[in-house]
Structures are given as structure tokens and as C-alpha cells.
Structure 1
Amino acid sequence: MAEQTAPARPPTAEATALARRTLGVPALVFLIIAASAPLTVLAGGATTSFAITGETGVPVGYLLLGVILGLFAVGYGRMSTYVQNAGAFYAYVAAGLGVRPGIGTSFLALMTYNAMQVGIYGVFGFTASSIINDLFGVTISWWICALAGWLLVAVLGVNRIDLSAKLLAVIVLLEFLVVIVVSLVSVSVAPEGVTAETLLPENWLNGSLGALLAFGMAAFMGFESGAIYAEEAKDPERSVARATYIAVAIISVFYAASSWALAAGIGPSQIVAQAQEWGPDLVFVFLDGKLPAMLVNLAAVLFLTSIMAALVAFHNAAARYFFSMGRARVLPAVLGRTGRVSGAPVAGSLTQSGIALVVIIVFAIAGAGSELGPLFPVLTFFPWLTNAAGFGLVLLLCITSVAALRYFNREPERHPLFVRTIAPLLAAIGLGAIALLIMFNFDAMIDAEGFSPLVVILPGMIVAAGVVGVIWGHYLKKSRPEIYAGVRRANIG
């Protein structure tokens, strides 16, 4: 059957509909995996997990998380066939649990995606500054580099989504290539032999499993973003679910394999100590002398583009949540406007860019003269915001699993038992446990020595956003019933 063409857009400066039928399954997969940033996970996430947990069972953590998130994807993917909305979590929770919880979820999602996107500027600025200094001997402040990245993301955000998808596809493919090369080199040198040491139960069934899952969750951040693009997908009833399943499988298996290979290359008995000494530089220190200097420098540059890909992906996600809530008039209606030509959520994109700009400037001022020196953004800005966002994501996934359980069991005869009950129930239990584990390990995740108020403040901000959203939903029901009814009709019927 011939592909349908999108309806003509009205000749106005701005509209309130996203560009239709621009993304297929491959494009959705690239957008999803770009948010997870394969090279960033290996160089930053895996090494941090080895270093802070002090355990070698990191690969198993990725596999177990893949199982839990695969169960979540069963209900999440099926929901995408019934509800297509750029504010996926908000729409699904509204459909399953009601309008007020749905609005609360939208506020929680906005806080989560903005915290993640903005926090990544910290590591981007630091990495860009370091690379420029290493390659050209020029010292540039991290915040100047962060602002340069911010400008590129802002420009891409107001253009057609397929432009971002094409750029991200190239970056992600190059990232995979670098990680595969690192893995092959690791296995080829393996000083202690190619062993299954890191997979043995004694390296993860020893009280460390909770920490491994808490730290590993960050690697999957963004896997759920396929549903956010449902209105722009060519075949939303099928492509979103397929892209989500593919992304979860690729992310879990690939990250487990690459972290296992890195541990083999360093040596299972040495990987923890080396990760603690070198941190994110471990991968590049390991490659030094094993590959030509030019290739090592190229890998470092691709590490930077990997971070940029994550920035673009999370910017797109946050912009679409602003758009969805503006279109529903839960937030100011201006946020629901899109570009006449691009079909991009221009108002939401500009809002997200504005928030990022303010936070970058605040941290630039706060870090001036800090005793942490150039490490300031990667020891404060980056871990504070992104770990809070990781906690927020797990809450979102848990709530959405409960919503799917409720939604499907209203008409049990239409859905198989595994889809309507077993998968979402197991996912909700697993995700709830991970949320608790993150809270118990939050001091380690932000590298706090002893008790820090941030252990309460940062997760508290995430939870508070959801509570404010529920209160706002109650206000709309009492004072703006036409808006409340509109949200209900759009998502519940």
C-alpha cells in the first residue's frame, strides 16, 4: 500500500501539530540509543560503576536491568498502539490512573528530562575543554564550551526532527564502532585471560546488586523515548513498540558485553582499582600505546559527540513534553505551538533551551574560583542533576507500569494475561525496588562524604514536581473544568 502523505499544514506562522510521518523504526531506534550514548556509558557509566561499587559484576547489572525494562516495554509498547501523544508518560498515566495523576506525571517528567539534559552540559563542557587543551594546547573554560554546545542543540531543536535523527544516526554508528574496537582490543590483550570472572554470582550476589542496579540504570536513560515521537512516527501503532524492544535488547546486551570486555582487557583483579584511579579517562588510557595516537584522539572526539547526541535526544524529549502540556492548556498554550515549516515544537524547544542557559550561567558563576578547579562541573553540575533525573525516570517507569496494569485490565478480554497483568506487575515491583535502591545509595552516587543535604534535596525536588502537578490538576478540575475535561477526553475518552 502506498505511503500516505501528511496533510497540508495551515499557512500560519505557527501551528499546534507536530510534523507527521517523518520517523521510521530505524530512526526511532537511533533517537532512543542516542540518549543512552554508548561510548559515554562505557567510558563514563561503566567505569564509574566499577569504581564506586567496588565490584566486578557490572555486566550482570546491565543484563538484569534489561530484563526488568523488557517487562516494562511490554505494557509500554502496547499502550503506544492505543495512545499516541508527545507527552507519553503523562498520556499513559492519565489513561490508566486518571487526569490528576497524569498531570502530576507530566510535571515529574518535565523535571526529570530537563534535569538530565541540563546536567549533561557539565560533562560536555569539561570534556570539550579537555580535548581542546590536549589537541591544540588552548585553555578554554568549561562553561564557554558548554555554551557552544548549547547553541548547536538550540538550533537543532527548532528544526525538523528528521534532521536530528540523521545526525544522531551517524554519531551513534561511529560510537558503536569505537566501542566494538575497544572491546576487540580488550579481548586480544586480556592480561588474565578471557574469563567469565565478572559474571560469576559471587561478584554480584554479595550485597552489591542493589548498587549495581542503581548505577546501571543511568545507561538506560532515554530508552523509553520512542513513545514521545509517536505523533511523528510513520506507523505509530507498531513502530514505537518495535523500536523500544530493539533498543532495550541492544542496550542491555551491548553494554554488558562491552563492560565485560573492558574488564577482561584491564584484568578482572585490576578493573576496580584502575577505574578508581582514572575514572572516565580509563578507556583512553587503556588504548594509549595499543592504537595509533590519531585513533585514540579520534575516539576522544567521538566521546564528545556521544555526549552531544545525548544532549540533542533529551532536548527533543523535554521540548515535546512542554509541547504536549501546552497543547492541552495544562501549561500556557503558547508552549503548544510548532514551526510552520519544521513542524518542530518550537516554543517548547526554546523554553528548554532557556532553562539550560540559565542553569549553565548559574553553575559558571558558582564554579568561579572553586577549589575543585576544572573538575567542578563533573563533580557537581553533572552528577547532581543527572542522578536526580535517574531517580525521576525510575519513578516514571514504575507509575506508568501501574497505569498500564490498570488500563489493560478494564477490558481483560482484549489483552493476553502476560501483557495486561504479569509483565506490568513484575516491572512495577522491580522498578519500585530500584527506586528505593537509588535513594539508599544516593550519597555514593553524588560522591558525598558523610551526610549531605543534597541527598534529600535532589530526589526531593523530583518528587515535589510530581506533587505540585497533582495539586495543579486538582486546581484545574475545580477552577478550569473545561481544560480538565479536555485532558480527560483526549486520553481517556
Structure 2
Amino acid sequence: MSTGTEERRQLTGSLGVGSIVFMVVAAAAPLTVIAGTVPLGLAAGNGAAFPMTFALCCAVLLLFAVGFCAMSRHVPQAGAFYAYVQRGLGRAPGLGAAFLALVTYTAVQLAVVGYIGAVIDGLVQHWGGPALPWWVWSLVVLAIVGVLGYRHIELSGKVLGVLLLAEVAIVLVFDAFVVGQGQHLSTALFSPAQVFSGAPGIAVMFAIASFIGFEATAVFRDEARDPQRTIPRATYLALILIGVFYTLSSWAVVSAWGDAAAVEAAGADPGGMIITTITTVLGPVGGDVAQVLLMTSLFAAILSFHNVLARY
């Protein structure tokens, strides 16, 4: 018999700040950004000063996060943008925001799924394996993601934590080697004239896109251990970590080549620039490890986007 009251089914969990940060930063795919976005920003954006664009965009998003986190305390729902837009503008605009988020995340998810299939195929053939269609590997990845997504969210958090630490570690080792050598360290990012040279608008577009998914902290509200504190802390921490990592690592890439040579290399081979750079600095073994971790970076992004999409 109906009681006349509605019960809203909720997800449950005990995610802490660390688990949510891993989920969000993994969606940003740090190594993939360094391998894919940085060369494009160098070649088509503001050249050797592109690393500063990450820092500026991070500062702007931190200001946005102040209001975002304030709303998360007053709107105790796990819908993120959907919940906030619905509360402020009404149900129809809220649903529009939700569908926009779904379409956007789905488009990115499909692109990454196709990309990882090609990356795995290249790795397998590099090691003497069979040449299979890229979509075979993509389907295998989707099956694994489906299993992890079906299991409890804490399992995904642990998997993402391990993969994220591995991909960040190889880039930080690369950064340390470049700084340790102390040669040709770039100063372009400190020159306003260079920061606003070229096509700064394109540079901002690439930089902002690299922070994709940071707002997803609020999507895990129902599964957070202490939502009132966990969500704001995770949001600020994720933004700061991503911003510092992108700025430092892209600066190290420019420094490894030199300002003019970095822009030239990015324009000549944007897809392979980072692997070439890491191989030059860390040797062939480092390059092979970076290729493997690029694959796991893409996998982590797919798993994270899957979790966010399911909750939207």
C-alpha cells in the first residue's frame, strides 16, 4: 500500500577527500594532457609561454570554486550543475544543464575510448604482438570499466589511485631530471609580452579544457564520508594539484627543448612530442614506461568519466 510519501534512493559510501580527488584528477588525465594538449598549446596558442596559461586558468577556476563549494553546502543533492541550475533557474533549465553535461561527458568518453584502442594497438605491435582492429581493444577496455563501475565505488577509487600515482610519478621524475640539469630553463612564462603573444584565446581554450571534470566532486556527495567538508576540500585540492602539475610539467617540457625549439617540435610532431622528450631525457626505458602509462592514464580517465556519467 502506498503511504503517499516518496523515497529517494541514494548511493552510499564512505569516500574521503583523497578518493574523490583521485577520481576527479584521473578524469583530467594528467599524462594525457601533457602528451596531447601541451604540444597543441605550444604550437597553436601562445608558444613557449603556454605554461603560464595553466596557472592563470587555475586561479580563475579557484575563484569560481568559491561559489561552487558554497552552493554545495546549501543544495544537498548529488546532481552538481543540474541541482544548482534547477534550484536557481527552475526545472527546465536544470534538465537542460544535465543533458548538456551528459552529452559533453559522453562525447569526451567516446573520444578517449577510441584513442585508447589505438594506443593499445600501437603498444601491442611495438612488442611484437598481433595487429588487431583498434575497436577490439576499446571493447575490452569498456568491459573492464563496466565491471569496475558495477562494483562498489571504493574499488574504482583504489584502482584510480594506483594508476594516477603511476602516471604522475613518471612525469615528476622527468620534471626533476630537467630541473636538475639546469640548462635552458625557460623564462618565457614570466614575460607578459610572450604570455599574451600569438593566440592567447586558443591557449586559454586548451588550458581550460584540461581541467575538465573538476566540478564532479559534487556528483559524489551521497557517497562522501562528510559531504559538508569533503566536497569543498576535494574541489580546492583537485584544482590546485592539477594547476601546479600542469604548469610545472609543461614548463619542464619547454625547458627540455628550449623556447624556440619546443614550439617548432610541437608544430612538427604534436602527437609524439612528449614521448620523444621523455625518451631523450630519461632514455629508451623511460620512453617505454611513459607509453604504457599513457595507456593507463587513458584507462583511468575512462573509468572516472564512467562513474561521473552514471551519477548524472
Amino acid at match of 1:32: V
Question: Which moved further from structure 2: 295-304 or 254-263?
Answer: 295-304
Aligned pair 1:44/2:7, yes or no?
A: no
Partner of 2:229 in structure 1? 238
Question: Which moved further from structure 2: 150-159 or 293-302?
Answer: 293-302
SS across alignment from 1:136: coil
Partner of 1:275 in structure 2? 266
Contact 2:17 2:230 in 1 (8 A): yes
Q: 1:288 to 1:295 in 2, by over 3 A?
A: closer
Aligned pair 1:96/2:88, yes or no?
A: yes
SS across alignment from 1:255: helix
| CA distances 1:84-106 after superposition (whole Å, capped 9, x unpaired) | 32321111111112122111111
Partner of 2:112 in structure 1? 120
Partner of 1:229 in structure 2? 220
Amino acid at match of 1:58: F
Partner of 2:74 in structure 1? 82
Distance in 2 (alpha carbons) for counterparts of 1:212 and 1:289: 26
Q: 1:225 to 1:98 in 2, by over 3 A?
A: same
Distance in 2 (alpha carbons) for counterparts of 1:250 and 1:128: 28
What does 1:442-481 correspond to in 2, within 5 Å? none
- Given candidates 239, 242, 254, the residue that maps to 2:245 is 254
Partner of 2:63 in structure 1? 71
Tell me the C-alpha RMSD between the 2 structures.
1.7
TM-score, with structure 2 as normaliser: 0.93
Partner of 1:308 in structure 2? 299
Aligned pair 1:198/2:189, yes or no?
A: yes
Question: 1:54 Cα deviation (Å)?
Answer: 5.9
- Given candidates 113, 121, 126, the residue that maps to 1:129 is 121
Aligned pair 1:299/2:290, yes or no?
A: yes
| CA distances 1:353-379 after superposition (whole Å, capped 9, x unpaired) | xxxxxxxxxxxxxxxxxxxxxxxxxxx
Q: 1:137 to 1:21 in 2, by over 3 A?
A: closer
Q: 1:124 to 1:91 in 2, by over 3 A?
A: same
Give unpaired runs (5+ residues) of structure 2.
1-6
Partner of 1:34 in structure 2? 26
Q: 1:287 to 1:207 in 2, by over 3 A?
A: closer
Moved over 3 A (4+): 15-19, 188-191
Distance in 2 (alpha carbons) for counterparts of 1:71 and 1:181: 31
Question: 1:272 Cα deviation (Å)?
Answer: 1.2
Partner of 2:3 in structure 1? none
Distance in 2 (alpha carbons) for counterparts of 1:139 and 1:85: 47
SS across alignment from 2:309: helix
The number of residues matched between the two structures is 306
| CA distances 1:398-425 after superposition (whole Å, capped 9, x unpaired) | xxxxxxxxxxxxxxxxxxxxxxxxxxxx
Contact 1:94 1:102 in 2 (8 A): yes
Q: 1:129 to 1:18 in 2, by over 3 A?
A: farther
Give unpaired runs (5+ residues) of structure 1.
1-14, 322-493
| CA distances 1:25-77 after superposition (whole Å, capped 9, x unpaired) | 11111111001111111111111211222622211111111011111111111
Contact 1:20 1:234 in 2 (8 A): no
Partner of 2:135 in structure 1? 143
Q: 1:289 to 1:212 in 2, by over 3 A?
A: closer
Contact 1:84 1:227 in 2 (8 A): no
TM-score, with structure 1 as normaliser: 0.60
SS across alignment from 1:270: helix
Distance in 2 (alpha carbons) for counterparts of 1:137 and 1:212: 39
Q: 1:54 to 1:88 in 2, by over 3 A?
A: closer
Distance in 2 (alpha carbons) for counterparts of 1:134 and 1:50: 28
Question: 1:311 Cα deviation (Å)?
Answer: 0.5
Distance in 2 (alpha carbons) for counterparts of 1:78 and 1:244: 11
Question: 1:221 Cα deviation (Å)?
Answer: 0.5
Q: 1:190 to 1:132 in 2, by over 3 A?
A: farther
Question: 1:141 Cα deviation (Å)?
Answer: 1.8
Distance in 2 (alpha carbons) for counterparts of 1:184 and 1:233: 35
Contact 1:47 1:275 in 2 (8 A): yes
SS across alignment from 2:186: coil
Partner of 1:161 in structure 2? 153
Q: 1:318 to 1:33 in 2, by over 3 A?
A: same
Contact 2:78 2:219 in 1 (8 A): yes
- Given candidates 252, 263, 276, the residue that maps to 2:254 is 263
Aligned pair 1:21/2:13, yes or no?
A: yes
Give 1 or 2 for the bigger CA radius of gyration: 1
Amino acid at match of 1:185: F
| CA distances 1:407-449 after superposition (whole Å, capped 9, x unpaired) | xxxxxxxxxxxxxxxxxxxxxxxxxxxxxxxxxxxxxxxxxxx
Contact 1:198 1:268 in 2 (8 A): no
Distance in 2 (alpha carbons) for counterparts of 1:305 and 1:86: 28
Distance in 2 (alpha carbons) for counterparts of 1:230 and 1:67: 24
